[in-house]
Amino acid sequence: MDRDARPSDAPLEGIRILVFVGDDYEDLELWYPKLRLEEAGAHVTVAGAVPRHVYSGKHGYPCASDAAIGDMEAADFHGVVIPGGWMPDKLRRDPKVLDLVREFSSSGKLVAAICHGGWIPVSAGVYRGVRVTGSPGIKDDLVNAGAIWEDAPAVVDRHHVTSRKPADLPAFMAAIVAVLARAKAPRH
């Protein structure tokens, strides 16, 4: 970070975030959050099934994983961001992915999902009674999992942040940064 940068330029300094990746992730829904979180001072680890593997987004943009999902521990992070695309349909079949999301949720840590990313928290069983949004294509899945559906650019319910589509990314990221900054703030 630039020595002249003020602390307010990095409100998430010291925050560690896990982001899932796999083939056919939605390009913008991974890269926009990753870069925005890093810009705010957070350390982002992108984890896929295989470490240091290059995954291809739905629109062909590559993303190399930093680590393997199997090596990740929720205790090492302040939250998880789950991009959409077709990737979540495959990753939600991985018991380790579901365990991580359950641990984040039960610990009150950020669980953020956009578009089809909501499939993973659905399969992890953490949305019952939680206000959420997501791709209209998975609305029935969310409702059937016990979530309370809202059609909005971003929905925050405690430590859960959800969004519908790439065009909603500014609202999604503003909500994520606010939730993480609130969690980081000293309690009096």
Question: Cα(47)–Cα(169) distance, rounded to whole angstroms?
Answer: 21
Q: Is residue 148 part of a domain?
A: yes
- Residue 4 included in any domain: no
Q: What is the pLDDT of residues 113-149, one digit of tens each?
A: 999 999 999 999 999 999 999 999 999 999 999 999 9
**Of 155, 186, 175, the residue nearest 147 (C-alpha):** 155
Q: Is residue 2 part of a domain?
A: no
Q: Does 58 map to a domain?
A: yes
Domain span at residue 154?
Answer: 9-180
Please report whether residue 129 resides in a domain: yes
Neighbouring residues of 144: CB distance < 8 A, sequence distance ≥ 6: none
CATH number, position 16: 3.40.50.880
Q: What percentage of the chain's residues is helix, strand, coil (to nearest 5)?
A: 40, 20, 35
171: nearest Cα among 185, 153, 156, 158: 153
Residue 187 lies in a domain: no
Q: Which residues, in sequence order, are bridge partners of residue 44?
A: 17
Structural domain includes residue 185: no
All residues at 6 or more sequence positions from 187 whose CB lies less than 8 Å from its CB, including other chains = none
Q: CA dist 114 to 63, 109, 165, 187, Å?
A: 18, 16, 6, 29
Residue 127 is given by DSSP the state -
- DSSP one-letter string for 100-120: HHHHHHHTT-EEEEEGGGGHH
Displacement of CA 173 from its chain's centroid (Å): 10
Q: What is the pTM (predicted TM-score) of this model?
A: 0.94
Mean of all residue pLDDT scores within the chain: 95
User: What pLDDT, in 10s, does the model give residues 94-112?
Assistant: 999 999 999 999 999 999 9
Residue identified by tokens 């069983």 is: 125
Largest CA distance in the chain: 51
116 a catalytic residue: yes
pLDDT given for residue 184 in this prediction: 81
Q: Are 82 and 104 in contact (CB under 8 A)?
A: no
Q: Give domain status of residue 186, yes or no.
A: no
The pLDDT value recorded for residue 143 is: 98
What would the mean pLDDT of 5-32 be, rounded to a whole number? 90
Q: Give the single-character DSSP code of 51.
A: T
> How far is the C-alpha of 113 from the C-alpha of 91, rounded, in Å?
13
Choice among 78, 116, 159, 160 that is catalytic: 116
How many structural domains are present in the chain? 1
Predicted local confidence at residue 185, as pLDDT = 76
pLDDT reported for residue 88: 98
Record the tokens describing residue 170, joined without a space: 């500014």
| Confidence class for position 1, pLDDT limits 50, 70, 90 | very low
**Which is it for strands 148-149 and 131-132: parallel, antiparallel or unpaired?**
parallel
**Residue where the block lists tokens 């992070």:** 77
